[in-house]
Amino acid sequence: MKEGPNIHIGPPVWGCDFFDRKKTIDVCWEKLRNNSIILSAPRRYGKSSVMLHLRDKPSMEFFPIYFELEDHFSLAGFVYEFVSKILEHDKSIMKKFKKGFSKIFKGIGEMSFWKFKIKLKKTIEDEGDWEEWKERIQQMIIDLVKTKESKKLLFILDEFPLMLSNFIKQGEKGETEAVKLLQWLRKIRHESPFLENVRFVLGGSIGIEKVISYLKATRTINDIETVQIGAFEPHVAVDFIKKIFETKELEVDKNVIKAIIEAVGTLIPIYLHIMIDSIIKESMNTGRKIEPALVKECYEKRVHGPEYKCYFEDYYERLWRYYLNEEAKSAKRMLRELATADDGIPIDRLFLIYQEEMRNRGDKEKFDLLLSALESDFYIERDRGEKKVYFHNKWLKDWWRIYHGA
């Protein structure tokens, strides 16, 4: 096998496997000079890969730290993640921190880092005063800024809105914690010395707007610009396909590439990976030559098969996790109708479908809110001129029809 981008389905990609995204990365660095950003796209579009790239190949003036937040459900969880990552990054801060906590961390000198982390977690949970932890964290940030001389700190918070949504699921306490955290992050972005020295990238697979408006906290993020991660442009996708086949030392002609582009529709890297993976496997299993007819067959019979089903299941499961029961039920019905419709569905007709599912207990306002949520969570697209609603993209629509269309 040659050096070059290889098929790498599921986890974020890095090194040779990370392809292009040049424009997106340039836009991120440009905006980060003066502002923090939200990096927004559906799950599996390539956000974490971009964020890891920002971490691994930072622009000269930044010192990045990456935080994975999806599995945290409380402010204590966030504090733990934040504090332990900062300590991991700078031994000198670790010394100061240990001094400040000498009573709690007795004998810490001999402790391994993971044992220390367990102790830290327990301490944060037991000593849950946010006001105090906030001060400590601010001091740590100031200390870190000093050690990095003229560099700005870049805190990359992956799946930030999902974490807030996890907080909200815990009830009133969680909601209060989410607002406190948002207020604190705003303060950090607006007050010296943080204003000049700290930037955030907030990455999210669900629309942050829905979470924030539920919390009635729009003011806390209205200063942050959003950078969208979308599909590859066609010429980038062509190059990507060519390079992968070259890495695999397989020859394909331009009609095959054209057939792949047409079948996939929205040129998201993971869709292209799955498509190419299935073509190569099918060709190896059957001995057939890779040609447009095989591509078409693989799209129809393999790419949405059980082998790749799991990569998209989260879209379905998430409805139950992040929507109220009643909303989830009517959303599921609307998505089923949209997945099985040839084209989009006029908004008036979709409202009737919604009302039917709600046994006429819904109203226009609730319906509009639900549509906005489904739009910002990347399930649907609305054509406001045509007054029609569509599934977000062809691949997902086909996947949904196969698994949840009946």
Q: Nearest CA to 295 among 349, 325, 253, 332?
A: 253
Provide, rounded to whole angstroms, the least separation between the CB of residue 57 and ligand ADP.
13
Provide, rounded to whole angstroms, the least separation between the CB of residue 272 and ligand ADP.
8
Q: Decide: is 43 part of the binding site for ligand ADP (CB under 6 A).
A: yes
Provide, rounded to whole angstroms, the least separation between the CB of residue 336 and ligand ADP.
24
Q: Tell which one of 10, 193, 230, 234 touches ligand ADP (CB under 6 A).
A: 10
Among the candidate windows 13-21, 93-101, 336-344, 387-395, which touches ligand ADP by CB under 6 A?
Answer: 13-21
Do you know the residue count of the chain? Answer: 406
Provide, rounded to whole angstroms, the least separation between the CB of residue 203 and Mg ion.
7
- The overall longest dimension of the chain from CA atoms, in Å, is 71
Which of ligand ADP, Mg ion, none has residue 46 at its interface (CB below 5 to 8 Å by kind)? ligand ADP
Give bridge partners of residue 228 from the DSSP assignment: 40
Q: Shortest Cβ contact with ligand ADP: which residue? A: 46
Other residues' Cβ atoms within 10 Å of the Cβ of residue 303: 21
User: 137 to 156, contacts with Mg ion by CB under 5 A?
Assistant: none
Q: Tell which one of 18, 66, 354, 400 touches ligand ADP (CB under 6 A).
A: 18
Q: Tell which one of 47, 152, 302, 397 touches ligand ADP (CB under 6 A).
A: 47
Between CA 406 and CA 404 the distance in angstroms is 6
Provide, rounded to whole angstroms, the least separation between the CB of residue 314 and ligand ADP.
9
Q: Decide: is 273 part of the binding site for ligand ADP (CB under 6 A).
A: yes
Q: Would you say 8 and 273 are in contact if contact means Cβ atoms under 8 Å apart?
A: yes
Among the candidate windows 47-55, 125-133, 146-154, 363-371, which touches ligand ADP by CB under 6 A?
Answer: 47-55
Which of Mg ion, ligand ADP, none has residue 49 at its interface (CB below 5 to 8 Å by kind)? ligand ADP
Query: Which positions from 183 to 212 touch ligand ADP by CB under 6 A, shown as an x/- string?
Result: ----------------------x-------
**SS3 sequence of 300-334:** HHCCCCHHHHHHHHHHHHHHHHHCCHHHHHHHHHH
Provide, rounded to whole angstroms, the least separation between the CB of residue 271 and ligand ADP.
9
Q: What is the DSSP letter of 224?
A: P
* 86-94 own/partner pairs: CB under 8 Å, 24+ apart: 86/137, 86/140, 86/141, 86/144, 87/140, 88/113, 89/65, 89/144, 90/143, 90/144, 90/147, 92/143, 92/147, 93/140, 93/143, 93/144, 93/147
Place of tokens 């039917």: 356
Would you say 70 or 300 has its CB closer to ligand ADP? 70
Omega before 193 cis (within 30°)? Answer: yes
Q: Tell which one of 28, 41, 168, 263 touches ligand ADP (CB under 6 A).
A: 41
Provide, rounded to whole angstroms, the least separation between the CB of residue 316 and ligand ADP.
15
Q: Would you say 111 and 168 are in contact if contact means Cβ atoms under 8 Å apart?
A: no
Provide, rounded to whole angstroms, the least separation between the CB of residue 143 and ligand ADP.
31
Which of Mg ion, ligand ADP, none has residue 107 at its interface (CB below 5 to 8 Å by kind)? none
Q: Decide: is 269 part of the binding site for ligand ADP (CB under 6 A).
A: yes
Between CA 315 and CA 319 the distance in angstroms is 7
Between CA 72 and CA 69 the distance in angstroms is 6
Would you say 49 or 393 has its CB closer to Mg ion? 49
CA dihedral 52, 57, 61, 67 (to 10 degrees): 20
Q: Tell which one of 40, 48, 165, 330 touches Mg ion (CB under 5 A).
A: 48
Residues forming the site for ligand ADP (CB under 6 A): 8-13, 17-21, 41, 43-49, 205, 269-270, 273
Residues forming the site for Mg ion (CB under 5 A): 48
